[in-house]
């Protein structure tokens, strides 16, 4: 059988094949590859070049340093919260930075509360830095913590981060500079994997984060097509958060907030921009095992279906504009259509053709995605990475990235089915079931 696979693969790669076989392969690959994967990859590469050109001609930073409030949402970080508080305290930023630490479920997370409170003396040693630790004794979820922090925030700019994060020391300076433009209402910060070397799965996620966030969002930002402000790291004008009345309870607060911002400005018919800045850097821990990775993505991908259903009445180019609508369509296609296509295409391939031919064709497709992802990664690293050596060291893992992406897409299909038939968004770390129950849409 192995000999048959190799023979057929070499036929596909090196020799002409029959019209019937060619038509079959073309019809199965063309919609996904020719009409989506290749054009979208080229679009992202063009956007990266455009971003690099604009960045080179940006000029010097102007004297604009608004006051900042950092809302840090915690649950069970323990001693790790020290690193988050330190990295925000030590920012190279002359303006005021207020650190608001929200300890959710503090009755059960006494260690996190105690460690956060112990950092007061350290923070007070720095000029223009202030620490406020707020215990929320009952667990209420990330949205509940974020809104509670907003009530105590006194900064012009709000930075929302997770408690298991750490920042480059110029993050605040890089993020706030965009708000000098009155049309900029929010900045999506760049997330990278902090524990990238902990396991093979964290290394895969480090590559995935770089391609999906640092590369793709840099490109999309140049076309004003940023469609998601990360819940783990988002930067907002305070007046904007007041206008949309904070975060909405439910789940997937990042995409939901982004949609609500766009809906607000569409109603007011005002110009606005959401910017992504790859230099506003935040590092976060990701799941170490495959099991925990799949569990995390079950929630993330299922939440996407929930949020789209919630905002279904405003999903139109007339309401949110063509750039945002196109970006949303692409994300819908990636999160909803592709997982189904990949699954059913794989099943159909194994049923319709001999095993040797099916395996050979899948190897051919694997090579295509390996080349595509490798080119995207290497091109982006050379143009965007601030840690080139570290990123280039992950090149050997690129060989397995198509398999990792395939696992992720099948998992996304399961997540969507779980959401559609089992209300999978309920009772997550975003919001416990009793919060969901009190906030039905």
The candidate with the shortest Cα–Cα distance to 321, out of 248, 272, 254, 257, is 272
Give the strand order in the sheet containing 233-237: 129-136, 97-104, 68-74, 157-162, 233-237, 184-193, 273-284, 165-167
CB atoms within 10 A of CB 38: 13
With vertex at residue 24, the alpha carbon angle to CA 18 and CA 28, rounded to the nearest 5 degrees, is: 145
Question: How far apart, in whole angstroms, are the C-alpha atoms of residue 134 and residue 106?
Answer: 9
The tens-digit pLDDT sequence of the chain (441 residues) is 455 555 555 555 554 445 455 455 555 555 566 667 888 899 999 999 999 999 999 888 788 999 999 999 998 888 999 999 999 999 999 999 999 999 998 888 899 999 999 999 999 999 999 999 999 988 888 888 999 999 999 999 999 999 989 999 999 999 999 999 999 999 999 999 999 999 999 999 999 999 999 999 999 999 988 888 888 899 999 999 998 888 886 665 677 888 888 888 876 667 889 999 999 999 999 999 999 999 988 888 877 777 777 777 777 777 777 777 887 788 777 877 888 877 887 787 788 777 777 787 788 788 889 999 999 999 999 999 999 999 999 999 999 999 999 999 888 888 888 877 766 655 555 566 555 555 544
Question: Could you identify the residue written with the tokens 């609500």?
Answer: 260
Structure tokens at 43: 């679009």
Residue 16: C-alpha distances to residues 9, 13, 31, 252 (Å) = 12, 8, 22, 49
- Cβ pair 363, 355 in contact under 8 A: no
Question: How far apart, in whole angstroms, are the C-alpha atoms of residue 420 and residue 263?
Answer: 24
Structure tokens at 34: 């020719």
């Amino acid at each position: 059988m192995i000999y048959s696979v190799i023979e057929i693969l070499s036929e596909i790669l090196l020799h002409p094949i029959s019209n019937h076989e060619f038509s079959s392969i073309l019809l199965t690959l063309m919609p996904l590859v020719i009409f989506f994967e290749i054009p979208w990859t080229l679009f992202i590469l063009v956007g990266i070049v455009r971003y690099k050109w604009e960045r080179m001609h940006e000029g010097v930073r102007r004297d604009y340093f608004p006051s900042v409030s950092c809302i840090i949402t915690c649950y069970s970080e323990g001693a790790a919260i020290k690193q988050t508080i330190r990295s925000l305290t030590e920012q190279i930023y002359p303006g005021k930075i207020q650190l608001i630490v929200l300890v959710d479920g503090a009755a059960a997370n006494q260690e996190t509360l105690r460690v956060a409170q112990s950092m007061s003396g350290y923070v007070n040693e720095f000029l223009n830095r202030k620490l406020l630790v707020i215990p929320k004794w009952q667990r209420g979820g990330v949205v509940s913590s974020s809104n509670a922090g907003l009530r105590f925030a006194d900064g012009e700019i709000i930075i929302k981060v997770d408690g298991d994060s750490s920042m480059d020391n110029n993050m605040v300076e890089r993020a706030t500079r965009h708000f000098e433009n009155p049309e900029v209402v929010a900045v999506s910060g760049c997330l990278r994997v902090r524990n990238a070397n902990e396991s093979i799965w964290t290394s895969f996620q480090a590559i995935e984060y770089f391609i999906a966030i640092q590369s793709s969002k840099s490109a999309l930002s140049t076309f004003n097509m940023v469609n998601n402000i990360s819940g783990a790291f988002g930067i907002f004008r305070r007046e904007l958060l007041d206008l949309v009345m904070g975060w909405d309870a439910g789940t997937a607060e990042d995409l939901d907030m982004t949609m609500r911002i766009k809906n607000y400005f569409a109603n007011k018919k005002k110009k606005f921009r959401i910017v992504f800045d790859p230099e506003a850097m935040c590092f976060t821990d990701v799941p170490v095992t495959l099991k925990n990775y799949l569990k995390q993505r079950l929630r993330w991908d299922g939440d996407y279906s929930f949020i789209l259903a919630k905002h279904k009445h405003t999903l139109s180019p007339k309401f949110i504009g063509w750039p945002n609508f196109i970006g949303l369509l692409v994300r819908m296609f990636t999160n909803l259509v592709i997982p189904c296509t990949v699954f059913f295409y794989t099943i159909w391939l194994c049923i319709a053709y001999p095993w040797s031919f099916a395996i050979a064709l899948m190897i051919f497709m694997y090579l295509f995605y390996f080349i595509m992802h490798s080119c995207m990664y290497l091109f982006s690293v050379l143009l965007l990475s601030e840690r080139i050596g570290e990123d280039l060291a992950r090149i050997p893992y690129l060989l397995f990235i198509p398999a990792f992406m395939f696992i992720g897409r099948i998992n996304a299909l399961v997540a969507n089915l779980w959401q559609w038939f089992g209300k999978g968004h309920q009772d997550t770390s975003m919001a416990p079931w009793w919060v969901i129950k009190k906030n039905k849409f």
